[in-house]
Structure 1
Amino acid sequence: MKSKIILEDIKIYAYHGVLQEEAIIGNHYVVNAELHADLEKASQTDNLNDTINYAQVNEIIHQEMAIRSELLEHVIGRIINKIESKFPQITFIRIKLTKTIPPMPGEMKGVSLEFEKEIN
């Protein structure tokens, strides 16, 4: 059975970016995470130990977003590594990180980076 856990549109205020003012002013970010794992056992047992605790995934995302980085790529890499090490049953991770008000001219919804990792 293919199973997915999807955390959608987690809104976090953080201080990432190359520009000095980004470290001072901060920005609004939106994080989306998709995790694949075989969760069939949990569908039978109703036991939290047989699934991925998405509250813990959310906590990891918040912890890593609180650590300042210049590059969003670095933030996403840390999130993926931490989730992967905490939940070895995961076979696929997708993280999308959006900076909602990037310091660039023009009106836009935001700038996003998305990483996917297949885990064997």
Structure 2
Amino acid sequence: MGIIKVNNIRVFAYHGCLEEEAKIGSEYRVDVTVKANLKKSAKTDELADTIDYVHLNYIVKEEMAIRSKLLEEVAQRILDRFFRELRTLKKATVSVAKINPPIGGNVEEVVVILTKKR
């Protein structure tokens, strides 16, 4: 078993329960950790034998572009796509952080973290 991480994916998106959030948008950071059997790719040196982190990044960016009220829903959509499209995936964790959320205080970020296993 091995782990691949894609950290600090920066995205500008329009998630949130407030109408203002749908209009002005916010900055987000997404971190991804996936577990899969990487023994074959470690031997073959072939992209087809591993989890392509370019594909992970692509899925994150596509799903972040779809507006949601809750970060939980966005994170779940990302996980669901990972497991639909990446057959060798065993476990994945997705962290979605809203940078400087509009919650009436000096808050750096709010983060939702979800994990899914096959």
Q: TM-score, normalized by length of structure 1?
A: 0.96
> Do residues 24 (structure 1) and 23 (structure 2) align?
yes
Count residues in correspondence: 118
The Cα offsets for residues 43-86 of structure 1, whole Å up to 9 and x where unpaired, read as: 10011110001101100000000011111111111100111111
What's the RMSD between the two structures over aligned residues?
Answer: 0.7
In structure 2, how many angstroms separate the alpha carbons of the residues matched to 1:11 and 1:48?
A: 24
Instruction: Name the aligned partner's letter for residue 14 of structure 2.
Output: Y
Task: Say whether the 8 Å CA contact 2:63–2:77 is kept in structure 1.
Answer: yes
Partner of 1:48: 47
1:112 paired residue number: 111
Counterpart Cα distance in 1 of 2:52 and 2:117: 20
State the TM-score, normalized to the length of structure 2. 0.97
SS at match of 1:91: strand
Mapped pair 1:92 → 2:91: yes
What letter matches 2:6 in structure 1? L
Measured in 2, the distance between the counterparts of 1:47 and 1:117 equals 26
CA distance in 2, matches of 1:95, 1:115: 5
Counterpart code for 2:24: I
Give the percent of matched residue pairs that are identical in Structure 1 and Structure 2.
Answer: 37
Aligned to 2:112, the other structure's residue is in SS state strand
Gaps of 5+ in 2: none
TM-superposition CA deviations, 1:5-64 (whole Å, max 9, x none): 100011100000000000000000000000000011001001111000110110000000
Partner amino acid, structure 2, of 1:111: V
